[in-house]
Structure 1
Amino acid sequence: MAMHSATLAINETIQARKTAGEKVLHLGFGEAGLPVPDGIAALLARAAGRNSYGAVVGSSEAREAAAGWFGRRSLPTEPDQVLFAPGSKALLFALLAALPGDLVLPCPAWVSYAAQAAIVGKRVIDVPIPAECGGVPDPALLEQALTRARTAGANPGVLLLTVPDNPTGTIAPPEYVREVCAIAERHGLAIVSDEIYAELCHDGQPAPSAAAYLPERTVVTSGLSKSMALGGWRIGFARVPDNRWGAGLMRDLVGIASEVWSSLAAPMQAAAAHILADPDEVTGHIAAARRLHATVARAVHGEFTRAGAACRLPRAGFYLYPDFEPVRDDLARRGITTGAELANVLLERYGVGVLAGEAFGDESRGLRARVATSLLYGESADERWTALRSDDPMELPWIAGSLNHLRDALTGLGRG
């Protein structure tokens, strides 16, 4: 039986505490935390009358827009290579159900990959990430991990990459992506490249894609939950390779989709077609979001490193993955020896919600946690718009207050 998603569970827990009047700093949930642009909201309202079932794959309008979107990102695509779904999570599940073999997964990784693999009866072959970044398995360890897995009776078949990464907020360098793709090719693996954060690289430069290095065996998934903060709209899309293997996979995915979700809601397809055409309203909004995510994530990174944690510098999205190993002895004197204990003390004693690394497949003894910074932008749409448009969002009283709350919590944690 699948368990309640850890990220959704902590969000519900913290929201319930806030509703009850508790002061809680919500750093546990990866919601993009920004309002919907007026033009996009108006477009959805105009499409509300589209209440008929549509094609499982998506409308021709939406598929053409997605194909052009990929093409402008150096990945030439035809509309028949694209499939839409209610969120990229549904597509990831369908891919794991359709593709043969067990799942090879960087560790730590987003909570739902392993859970979905378990639902469809796949083993998970964990491979540690490199020291510099997350989202890809360490190339130096991948080949031997595959050999060990086969010796133990596993059947590696699918390699899942997340570039940029959740939970670490980093971007794997092109040479790592190239190397793991070469290993995947030698071992006959299919690659699922989750690129949901690719529009949010802090420097505005494109993230490397496995589709550039193993195009004939790479499926790319993406969506509008992160770049446009439309998580509640559930708009996801995938691109399969333009070859016989990709066409066969598309048939399998359509078969699964037709029995599970039928099609993406028609009004959402209208929104997707508009957004994926990259109008100025959209590209400007994403650029502003990118700047805000970078500014706040770096400020929060500074607080954790000043508290003694080791932490990779965030380079995309709105995540950090601090490691309190350097202060383990100090925490042990307070009875904190695991990531779960660390997260519990932060929440119960200091009103700071984070998610223990164990939820992402990390070892339970590790003093690591995933920190999401995107719900610091404000409680109301007005506050979030102000943060998005501010030249110095860290000076806004609600963001400065949240940073002070975190600083006090980390100071208290260190003092015991």
Structure 2
Amino acid sequence: MEDDRRFTTVLRDPRGEERHSETKDQPMLLSPTLAINQEIDRRRRAGLPVVALGFGEANIPVHPMLTAALGEHAGRAGYGPVQGLPELLDEAAEYWVRRKVPTRAEHVVVGPGSKALLFAVFEALGGPVLLPGPSWVSYAAQNRILGQQVVTVPAPTGQGGLPDPEALRDAATRLHADGAPAAAVLMTIPDNPTGTVASPDQVRAVCSVAEDFDLTIISDEIYLDLVHDPKRDVLTPAQIMPDRTIITTGLSKSLALGGWRLGVSRIPDHGPLRAVRERVVGVASEIWSAAAQPVQRVAALAFSEPPELVDRIAQSRRLHSRLARTVAEIFAAAGANVAQPEGGFYVYPDFEPIRGQLAAQGAMTSRDLAHLLLEEEGIATLPGVAFGDDLARLALRVAVPMLYGTDDDQRMEALEAESPETLPWITQSLDVLHAGLSRLAGSSTMPNTTPVT
């Protein structure tokens, strides 16, 4: 009998057949990442202590060059073109050309965040969509809103963000045999939630499967400029198959402009993807009309990559790397399996090695574990199940940036510090994390973590 555990089907297929207990007819719940942020805020306003490791916000100060540019253009209140302002389309195209991805201005579509653009892309492509497992919470949720089928394919160990190529081929073969061939496969480079970066060989292998099954590749590269080692060889699918790959990115992670809501997508004009781009622009015209013009003009500046902003991104990359590695060491010392963080600002510990100790405290699932940490220790994380992982797997998604500080003075000091993990407000949170995990693991002798060098 064939092993169905290699990939998981959720939502509904195009015929409306139910494949999962959670359906489009059920209430749409608040996104887990936003929900935990609201819970953290509620606890702080109530005077409750909390170590905020749940929300993936970059949490670094906005560069003065960007705030000055926003003020300069604040009076530009017109809608502007649906696809985006010409100067932003030009700068975004050149940004990708510098990354060895052939792009013209007419390939670019601008939206109020990459999240909105992803939704429009999913709508234009239809389903089924093949996702890596685990993966960012909104991919499956957006397809659920659209009533489209999603198939989650496990990611290779230590290489999150793309499906295992062999399992992907099996999933695509099965869908084709069922008469509902997959429309697209998605990759995230670097990955949220695991903080890892797929190897060039794995990217090539997934691209090969995409070509064999005529799949569009969606490449979410919102963290691409935050690969921890700037000298690392990182290959993206658009560098291999530019005519088959749609890219989404933005400024929320690299420059901490999440609240300004600006995303860009690259949708090539080869074959059927030309119609996809036209459909995305049509959807944009009916939903958001045009991204805010002042923010688009700031984005044009940002995508031109002036030296001051390149330096700021390098600073933030270093800060994210040091704190992610430090937090990973603390979780590893508590007995969790943790892949070395390689990009972005996430850690994904798996507590399987101490399942027995956790079961004795009532933590049988990742949801139980996240609840236990929050209620007993004041440590806010997200359960792996929120990212499509198996409920029984004792995995957590941990985001480190909210450790950097609660005001711009603290955040700037963290950004500029040689050893940010030794700053008093960061050390205080790390000590609470260390002590809480020590109690969770049932050990009072868990060694103190050594700051990374």
Query: What is the aligned partner in structure 1 of residue 265 from structure 2?
Result: 238
Give how far 1:364 is off.
0.8
Query: What is the aligned partner in structure 2 of residue 94 from structure 1?
Result: 120
Matched, 1:126 2:159: no
**Aligned equivalent of 1:185, options 186, 193, 211:** 211
2: CA distance, partners of 1:142 / 1:244: 24
Query: What is the aligned partner in structure 2 of residue 354 from structure 1?
Result: 381
- 1:209-288 matches, within 5 Å, as 209-288=236-315
Give how far 1:132 is off.
2.0
CA contact (8 A) 1:168 1:314 kept: yes
**Aligned equivalent of 2:350, options 297, 303, 323:** 323
**Aligned equivalent of 1:51, options 77, 88, 100:** 77
Report the TM-score, using the length of structure 2 for normalisation: 0.90
Matched, 1:399 2:426: yes
CA contact (8 A) 1:125 1:149 kept: no
CA contact (8 A) 2:127 2:150 kept: no
**Aligned equivalent of 1:307, options 322, 329, 334:** 334
Question: What SS is found at the alignment partner of 2:74?
Answer: helix
Query: What is the aligned partner in structure 1 of residue 221 from structure 2?
Result: 195
Give how far 1:72 is off.
1.1
Give how far 1:243 is off.
2.3
Query: What is the aligned partner in structure 2 of residue 138 from structure 1?
Result: 164
CA contact (8 A) 2:269 2:277 kept: no
Report the TM-score, using the length of structure 1 for normalisation: 0.98
CA deviation string 1:197-249 (max 9, x = no partner): 00000001463211122221110000000000100001100011242433222
2: CA distance, partners of 1:46 / 1:71: 28
1: CA distance, partners of 2:93 / 2:180: 36
CA deviation string 1:254-291 (max 9, x = no partner): 10000000011000011001011000111000000000
Give how far 1:101 is off.
2.8
Which amino acid in 1 is paired with 2:106?
D
1: CA distance, partners of 2:94 / 2:226: 19
2: CA distance, partners of 1:152 / 1:340: 33
- 1:103-118 matches, within 5 Å, as 103-118=129-144
Query: What is the aligned partner in structure 2 of residue 161 from structure 1?
Result: 187
1: CA distance, partners of 2:170 / 2:69: 51
What is the aligned residue count?
416
- Percent identical residues: 47
Question: What SS is found at the alignment partner of 1:49?
Answer: coil
Question: What SS is found at the alignment partner of 1:191?
Answer: strand
1: CA distance, partners of 2:130 / 2:417: 42
CA contact (8 A) 1:257 1:263 kept: yes
Structure 1: unaligned runs, 5 residues or longer: none
> What CA RMSD, in Å, does the superposition of the two structures yield over aligned residues?
1.2
Give how far 1:152 is off.
4.6
CA contact (8 A) 2:130 2:186 kept: yes
1: CA distance, partners of 2:435 / 2:127: 48
2: CA distance, partners of 1:246 / 1:345: 46
Which amino acid in 2 is paired with 1:270?
R
1: CA distance, partners of 2:246 / 2:182: 17
Query: What is the aligned partner in structure 2 of residue 15 from structure 1?
Result: 41
Query: What is the aligned partner in structure 1 of residue 409 from structure 2?
Result: 382
Give how far 1:155 is off.
3.0
Give how far 1:19 is off.
1.2
